[in-house]
Amino acid sequence: MIYLKLSRVLEKINVREMHADPELEIKGVDSDSRKIGPGELFVAVRGYENDGHKFIVPAVNAGAVCVVCEEPPQCETPYVIVENSRLAMALLAGNFYGNPSERMCMIGVTGTNGKTTVTNLIKQILEKTLEAKVGLIGTNKNMIGELELEADHTTPDSLELQKLLKRMADEGCTHVVMEVSSHALYLDRVAGIRYKIGVFTNLTEDHLDFHKTMEEYARAKAKLFEISDVSIVNIDDQYAGIMLEAASGERYTYSTSRNDADLTAKSIKLEQSSVSFCALTTGRLEKVKLHIPGMFSIYNGLAALSTAVCLGVDLGTASDALNQCSGVKGRAEIVPCDRGYTVLIDYAHTPDALENILNTVKGFANGRVILLFGCGGDREKTKRPLMGSIAVSKADYVIITSDNPRTEEPMDIINNILEGIGETDTPYDVIENRREAIGRALEIARPGDVVILAGKGHETYQIIGRQKNHFDEREIVADYLKIGCVSTNDC
């Protein structure tokens, strides 16, 4: 149990008004009034759906001994007025848990695509070369060394993040590599953390329902490099300049074509199940083979190698370690299949990611490329027709279905996708039910074909309305291959 005086919890926070005893003992911190217990500090955060100031009374009734807020509460209680309670939440969460990030080497990876693979590759390289115990925070899962923990968000909220970092530090992690989302940066979830390394992968259309424009999206991502000692940037990306401009420390660049980059890939070879290249830096050339297919894997490998080099690992040693690295669940993942065709699951849910996986598969497929995909509900609509256009221009057969429709009508989402298809010679089906759509894809597949199930990736659920239902595409494929249908209702 942690007990801290209020004055200690409020260190480094811009307090406008203090209406509480600085010696007050704080036993816990939360911004959810339903989780507050006796002796704890409640932080009233203004959200996009709810305003925490409306829940001050329930929090006090539940035992909160003090409130951090942006305006005086409508009840008798000790309180502290701050300019930005969301920012204050992140900083005081760090204070409460002893600022654990300061005890570890923090590595943050941001970008639209590649974050999960890059963080996993960095973790594996550091474990192999430094024999370090590495914490991982990401979309797929969180890890403390080899221990796997479930993850609900790409970047946890500030309180959960600091709590997780404390556990990592307490359990002996020397390094933490984490995905840092644009939402986390914009909403101050990582405020108070200083990164040794910040990595930028790429920027393509995504989250414009939140950021509105690509420029705003890029500026949000660039915040990572304001708080990083070393900024590692993919200079082949059109938004690289914004990232480099924001960098407050050293800059290190990587590329597949530019000789002025600090690390460049040469002699690139793309194969069915792997990629190989020569990593070139000043006075050094090292051969690399990564057992994950696709041109995007070259970029992911360069990002991971750049990170290792910036942490003092010899390029040759890092390259040898990368050769031994494995892929990530839901990223170009091959599903066991004995029918003569290949089934591949990939998280591609943006136009760029969809085009990448299609280009990769087209490079090795002996038969047709059959693509199944949908788009998420309650997310930006502008990318839907773009993905429809890419699908019919790159695939040989397309099945348009649901992803996570959330609170939108599934057919409304599908109709948005269809707007981008127009007149096409590419055959396509529209099957709203994703389980039935998977059955159709497997039914029409022939030996030599590659079936891509795009969009769900590592996810083992489907969100319909506000209900999260179990939905694992690996299980669905296995059922079909076993009994020739995808659910008991079809049998």
117 and 215, same domain (yes or no) = yes
Q: Which of 323, 354, 382 is the last residue of a domain?
A: 323
pLDDT tens digit sequence for 243-266: 999 999 999 999 999 999 999 999
**What Cα–Cα distance (Å) separates residue 23 from each residue in 9, 71, 83?**
11, 22, 22
212 and 358, same domain (yes or no) = no
Nearest-10 Cα torsion for 466, 467, 473, 475: 170
Strand-strand pairing, 175-179 and 195-200: unpaired
489 belongs to a structural domain: no
State whether residue 149 is helix, strand or coil. strand
226 and 358, same domain (yes or no) = no
Q: Which of 275, 301, 323 is the last residue of a domain?
A: 323
DSSP 8-state class, residue 487: S
**What Cα–Cα distance (Å) separates residue 338 from each residue in 333, 366, 446, 473?**
16, 16, 12, 17
Q: Which of 62, 96, 130 is the last residue of a domain?
A: 96
491 belongs to a structural domain: no
84 and 233, same domain (yes or no) = no
431 belongs to a structural domain: yes
pLDDT tens digit sequence for 94-131: 999 999 999 999 999 999 888 999 999 999 999 999 99
359 belongs to a structural domain: yes
Would you write out the chain's pLDDT as a tens digit for each of its 491 residues? Answer: 788 999 999 999 999 999 999 999 999 999 999 999 999 999 999 987 789 999 999 999 999 999 999 999 999 999 999 999 999 999 999 999 999 999 999 999 999 888 999 999 999 999 999 999 999 999 878 999 999 997 766 678 999 999 999 999 999 999 999 999 988 999 999 999 999 999 999 998 655 566 568 889 899 999 999 999 999 999 999 999 999 999 999 999 999 999 999 999 999 998 877 899 999 999 899 999 998 888 889 999 999 999 999 999 999 999 999 999 988 889 889 898 889 999 999 999 999 889 989 998 988 888 999 999 999 999 889 999 999 999 999 999 999 999 999 999 999 999 999 999 989 999 999 999 999 999 999 999 999 999 999 999 999 999 999 999 999 999 999 999 987 666 544 44
265 and 378, same domain (yes or no) = no
264 belongs to a structural domain: yes
Beta bridge partners of 119: none
122 belongs to a structural domain: yes
Whether the Cβ atoms of residue 95 and residue 28 lie closer than 8 Å to each other: no
390 and 378, same domain (yes or no) = yes
Q: Which residues span the domain enclosing 39?
A: 4-96
Sign of CA dihedral 307, 312, 316, 321: negative
Average pLDDT over all residues of the chain: 93
422 and 461, same domain (yes or no) = yes
Residue 402 belongs to a domain with what CATH number? 3.90.190.20
Rounded to the nearest 5 percent, the helix, strand and coil shares of the chain are 35, 25, 40
118 belongs to a structural domain: yes
pTM score of the predicted model: 0.84
135 and 244, same domain (yes or no) = yes
Residue 26 belongs to a domain with what CATH number? 3.40.1390.10
308 and 367, same domain (yes or no) = no
Whether the Cβ atoms of residue 432 and residue 453 lie closer than 8 Å to each other: no
43 and 83, same domain (yes or no) = yes
Number of domains into which the chain is organized: 3
281 and 378, same domain (yes or no) = no
171 belongs to a structural domain: yes
Whether the Cβ atoms of residue 368 and residue 402 lie closer than 8 Å to each other: no
Q: Cα separation of 378 and 6, whole Å?
A: 40
287 and 433, same domain (yes or no) = no
Residue 148 belongs to a domain with what CATH number? 3.40.1190.10
